[in-house]
Structures are given as structure tokens and as C-alpha cells.
A and B are shown apart, each in its own frame.
Chain A
């Protein structure tokens, strides 16, 4: 089955700096890669996603890049703010939009701390 690795496990940045979180996946058939932000005691919230036919996607301060050949994808947060502090999870899935999608496989999470 799919295996997703995520690094780093913790990341501390100063407000205004950029943060980068990296994930690798094992199943070349995976074609959907979402990123979730989870605050303490809350549900995971989708912040951005990318599909395998795209190499990069950006939404304001958040961007995701995908390298299918190397089977890795990264989350980039620019101009970090204290409210960005949370745990971030990457995930991988195959078969989305086909009606026979596989389960989401999550990374181990990155605890991001944005300090003043």
C-alpha cells in the first residue's frame, strides 16, 4: 500500500519568514495530494491540494509543488503569521474522480510554530 513520509516533524520560524514542509510517497499511481491544517482539538481542514497533472499550485501565501518523477510534494507558506501555528498533514490518494478512489494515506504531521 501507499506510504507517505513527512519532514520535518517540528518547525519553528519567525513571523514573516517562510516555512517549507516536505512529503514523499511510494505509490506512483497516487494522483491527488491534499494538505490539511489541524489546530488542537479540531478537525483537519483542507488548505490546498494538487493533482498529478499539475506541477505547482498557489493560493495567496500558500503554495504546493509536486515532482511526480521523484514522488515528492512540498507545502510552502510565505510571510508566516502566528495564526499559521498548527499541525500540518500531507496526504496521498489514487483514483480520485473515478468513483473508485482509494483511501487517503496521511503523513506523520509537522508541528509549525510561528514565533513573534
Chain B
């Protein structure tokens, strides 16, 4: 199947700093990428849908000014958590979609101290 990578795999930062997470589709072009957040023992919650060359569509309750998404190319989307706080600590997972399947990245564990 297609491969989606994420970088970094884990990050620890101080409260108030910004963190950027990259999501790449390695062997296919993805017009649509998704960003999910998963808290311990919970399901994946969609944060936003990212389409190449256009603004991301955020789910209700997700602050677009705090979670900045850039989908500049068909193989790269980035999520920047601005002014991170301890409550933003979570497992962030991206995914990229082809016409008939969705492939997930390995996730990024963010810990905000």
C-alpha cells in the first residue's frame, strides 16, 4: 500500500512555543490530507481537512488560528501548533487519501511541559 510519513515521531516542548509537524505521502500524490488528534484511550478525532492549494476546512471546535495547516504541495501538509499548552499534548496523526483508500501516517506524540 501507499506510504505516509510523519516527522517528528515525538516532540517535547515548553508551554508557549510552537511546534510544526510534517506529513508526507511518499509514493503517491494526495489532493486531500487529514489531521487527527487522539487522546489516550479515545478515538481519532478529525481536526481538519487539507486540500492542496486551498485553505483547510476545520472541524467544529478546532481553533484555526491555533492549529495552522499548510498543504503547499501534493505530497506535503504541515500542522503547526501555535503557543502550545499542556492540554494540547496528544497523539497527532495525519492521513492522505487516494480515490479509493485512506492511508495513515505513524503519528506524532506531542508533549507540552
Contact = CB atoms under 8 A, between A and B. Distances in A.
Interface in B52-95: 91, 93
Contacts, number: 40
Main secondary structure of the interface of A (DSSP, over half): loop
Which of B49, B102, B105, B107 has the most chain A CB within a 10 Å cutoff?
A: B102
A107 B43 contact: yes
Contacts of A108: 42-43
Interface residues of A, number: 19
B93 A43 contact: yes
B106 A97 contact: no
Interface residues of B, number: 20
Given A97-B99, A99-B99, A43 B105 contact: yes
Contacts of B91: 41
Contacts of A97: 99-100
Contact of B49 (A42, A43, A103): A103
8 contacts: A42-B106, A42-B107, A43-B104, A89-B44, A96-B99, A101-B97, A104-B34, A111-B41
Interface of A: 34, 41-46, 89, 96-97, 99, 101, 103-104, 106-109, 111
Interface of B: 1, 34, 41-44, 46, 49, 91, 93, 97, 99-102, 104-107, 109
Given A97-B100, A101-B97, A106-B44, 16 more contacts: A41-B91, A42-B106, A43-B93, A43-B104, A43-B107, A44-B44, A44-B93, A46-B101, A97-B99, A99-B99, A101-B99, A103-B34, A103-B46, A104-B46, A104-B102, A111-B41
